[in-house]
Amino acid sequence: MTIKSQQGFSLVEALIATVILAIGITGFISMQASFASKSAVRTAINSLIDAASSALAQCQADKTTGSSLSYTYENNMVVTVTLNKSCNIAPDECDAVTATASAEGKGEKPFKLTTYVCNFK
């Protein structure tokens, strides 16, 4: 009996390599999809934080801010900020004002931010 030297790949080896490659590509695509969805959630949360912070800064600066403000971000997300108290604080006093930011049509929980607004003139 003569022993032949093996050349190339057998069909079984090629099938196993194809299965391993398919599993790797599927894992890579699912990681990309997961990252994209988490990135959108982070963007929404950052928009809520920014809107609440901006409303409180405006409240501290000019004391004439209304009780509800709306901001529109570049991804067409509308964020509404509601203040729990008026920004018109009595002279020589400070009061805690809470801004609650919520996004319309998004599944994110409202974000609350509290700061003190003072009126020392």
Report yes or no on 97 lying in a domain.
yes
Report yes or no on 109 lying in a domain.
yes
What's the pLDDT at 24? 95
Tell me the residue ranges of DSSP E strands in 1-121: 68-72, 78-83, 93-103, 111-119
Domain span holding position 16 = 11-119
What's the pLDDT at 33? 87
Whole-angstrom Cα distance, residue 79 to residue 48?
A: 7
Looking at the chain, the whole-number percentage of residues with pLDDT higher than 90 is 15
* Number of domains within the chain: 1
What's the mean pLDDT when you consider all of the chain? 82
Per residue in 87-116, pLDDT tens? 888 888 888 888 888 887 666 678 888 888
Report yes or no on 4 lying in a domain.
no
Report yes or no on 75 lying in a domain.
yes
Report yes or no on 6 lying in a domain.
no
Per residue in 29-86, pLDDT tens? 999 988 887 887 787 788 888 888 888 888 888 766 667 778 777 667 788 888 888 8
Report yes or no on 5 lying in a domain.
no
Report yes or no on 40 lying in a domain.
yes
